[in-house]
Amino acid sequence: MIRKSAAIVAGLIAALWLAGCGTIDRPEGGVLRLTTQTWRPTEDPRIRAGDVARVEALAEQIGERLWAASEGRSILALSGGGANGAYGAGVLVGWTASGTRPEFSVVTGVSTGALAAPFAFLGPEWDDELRGAYAEGRTGGLLGWRSFAALASPGLFDSGVLEDLVEDYVTPELLRQIAVEHDKGRRLLIVTTNLDAEETVIWDMGVLAKQGGVQAVALFRDVLLASASIPGVFPPVMIPGVDAEGRLVEEMHVDGGVITPFLGIPESLLNVTTPTPAPEGTTLYVLINGQIGRTEVITRGTLRAILARSYDTMSKANLRTGLAVNLAFAERNGLSLYVAAIPEGIESSSLDFDPESMARLFERGRTAAAGGLAWSELKGPVPEPGLVPESDPRAVEAPPPVTPEG
């Protein structure tokens, strides 16, 4: 038994040492050969941080929705958080049950939040899809031995399970309905990180959805997959783009949370220091798929535990900074800022994709939102502790998860 265990450990160590063999072959300078089969969107849906004109145009559109619209003046920002996205999905479903869930002018998604964002954008009629994606066992094997792929790809695990999940739920009908809502002036925005340019890229998914067709569906899926691909855990996604010289190039995209923990108020608006009072009722909702405050626990000495703890620590720090900046803007301009997050005292991990754990986390979020406990208005300094009182029984004990038949 000892020899067998030692052999397993030695094999794993050797695999990690050899992980450098898992690479992606890239063309010289990233430039792709243009062929008749290469599809270029009629309108590029990506908005790069360095493209000042398009960034400012997006900020103007969102500003008009928030300041000029007669109703529906709200943004829903879904953060990253890996497996903790089950909590956020549960909050959305429970929010529907409470009867208080609004229709959002803008929905944004980062990482796991990107996977939930299309359903949140389309409204309560898509709650069954949210439940199916996060609480009905679809994540089984995501980080299992069968997915271990360090020798074949630049990631510890392949993204096959995630790809299947995205493929099943991103359909031509989903894009058609998103296009309809886009034409009404609503916006669905997804964030990825372009590693080549070291910049955040915002994808206007309504622009992409309106173009329709097989290739639009494929690119839509690639964007969601890229935004949810935690670097080092899953391989990056290669997406064609056009450089400043008009050449078709291959871009390497990964988890949007590398730079942007959530997309609330666009940076161009955040930088405006002159107050512009927003109409009454204008609200920013930030749904955090994780916890805000620091938690002190002994980190297990396993690769998965170290990766998860490091990712969670980085995410929390970035989240607190992002919340502080958005809160300052909200207070300056008369917006309300509401935050929902996993309460302190509840064990969770961004890399715990065990189906039962995710089902329990989904049910905690659903119960909290249905009972009016999920959301808290953020005022003053960003708090270190959780937002839901631990004394509330629903913040400590959750009912058993609902089965698919229930």
Q: Tell whether the model's pLDDT for residue 323 goes beyond 50.
A: yes
Q: Who wins on pLDDT, 292 or 34? A: 292
pLDDT for 8 beyond 50:
no
The CA distance from 361 to 353, in Å, is 11
Q: Is the pLDDT of residue 19 over 80?
A: no
| pLDDT tens string 240-265 | 877 777 777 888 999 988 889 999 98
Instruction: Give the CA count within 13 Å in the CB-facing half-sphere of 93.
Output: 26
| pLDDT given for residue 318 in this prediction | 85
Distance of CA 55 to the CA centre of its chain: 20
111: left (phi over 0), alpha (psi -120 to 50) or beta: left
Residue 221: burial class (beta carbons within 10 Å; 0-12, 13-18, 19+)? middle
pLDDT of residue 119: 96
**Considering Cα of 52, then 55, then 59, then 60, what sign does the dihedral take?**
positive
Pairing of strands 74-78, 187-194: unpaired
- Asked which of 1-5, 91-95, 331-335, 358-362 is least confident by mean pLDDT, the reply is 1-5
d(CA 180, CA 65): 17
Report pTM: 0.82
Q: pLDDT class for 100, splitting at 50, 70, 90?
A: very high
**374 touches 95 (CB < 8 A):** yes
Q: Which residues of 276-304 are buried (b: 16+ CB within 10 A; e: fewer)?
A: eebeeebbbbbbbbbbbeebeeeeeeeee
Which pLDDT score is estimated for 54? 86
Assign 383 a pLDDT band (cuts: 50, 70, 90).
low
Q: What is the pLDDT of residues 175-220, one digit of tens each?
A: 999 999 999 999 999 999 998 888 999 999 999 999 988 999 999 9
The dihedral sign for the CA sequence 149, 233, 307, 138: negative
pLDDT surpasses 50 at 12: no
Task: Give the pLDDT of residue 218.
Answer: 92
Average pLDDT of the chain, as a whole number: 79
pLDDT confidence of residue 46? 87
Q: For residue 107, list its beta bridge partners.
A: 76, 188
Average pLDDT of span 33-37? 49
Q: Are 89 and 120 in contact (CB under 8 A)?
A: no
What percent of the chain has a predicted confidence (pLDDT) above 90? 38
- d(C-alpha 206, C-alpha 185), whole Å: 10
